[in-house]
Amino acid sequence: MKRAHGFTLIELAIVLVIITILVGGLAGPLSAQIQARRVAETQRTLDEAREAIIGYAMTHRTTLGRPYLPCPDTDGDGRENRDPGGACELSYGHFPWVDLGSAQHDAWGNRLRYVVEAGLAHRSTGFSGATLVPDPPTSGWKQIAGASGCATIDVAAGVPFVLISHGANGWGALNVSGATLAAPASADEQENLGIDNGCYVARAPGKPGDPAGEFDDQLGWLAFGVLVSRACPAGCP
């Protein structure tokens, strides 16, 4: 009569060690894939928000027939905040997703920041390709650089609006529950907090401890010439 042989404790321990090694080896690549998918999803959200802003400009006109941009949401209800005279209450805040019918948040559940050139969002002035407020069109508008301070404008100069996702770390972001997350320590991420100083940062991601500082923000914007051509295909008055 043959005796049944089971696994010894040593054999079971070896199997568990092998499984742990395999799982540990897969965890890193899987986490990186999830992160990459969220980055790509957020980029699509930024692109959709940008298209929604263009769509708004195409359908909203001043009494002179000029298009104007949406104002930021400054109280967290998803709607733009505009004073009775037609000006934005603030030129910075969050993307008015309810009014524009676009995504509420990025892939990490945080609201998109939105900063706009105030003159282009005024309901009485608007913009055109010929007569602009201010003039020239890109003077003093939003600047995007590879480092805080915008000493060198090496990404984009004079853009009419900027959309910002605060990335995976979410530092400084307003989440969908209405809570504001801790402010970032990185100077580059602090620059993107949305207070309208005219300077914003777009660069390669950086981990905590990197020489340039931690950074995982994603930005969206549009050149003014493209905005005019999209908002007024036949020309603005």
Hey, is 152 helix, strand or coil? coil
> 154-169, pLDDT tens digit by residue?
999 989 999 999 999 9
- Which letter does DSSP use for residue 25 in this model? H
215 neighbors 188 (Cβ within 8 angstroms): yes
Measured distance CA(235)–CA(237) in Å, rounded: 7
Q: Average pLDDT, stretch 67-79? A: 96
Model confidence at 110: pLDDT above 70? yes
Model confidence at 1: pLDDT above 50? no
State the pairing for strand pair 142-145/161-165.
unpaired
Residue 27 parent element (H or E): helix 9-59
Q: Rounded to two decimals, what is the model's pTM? A: 0.85
Could you tell me what percent of the chain has a pLDDT over 70?
89
pLDDT at 148: 94
> 130-150, pLDDT tens digit by residue?
655 445 566 678 999 999 999
Model confidence at 194: pLDDT above 90? no
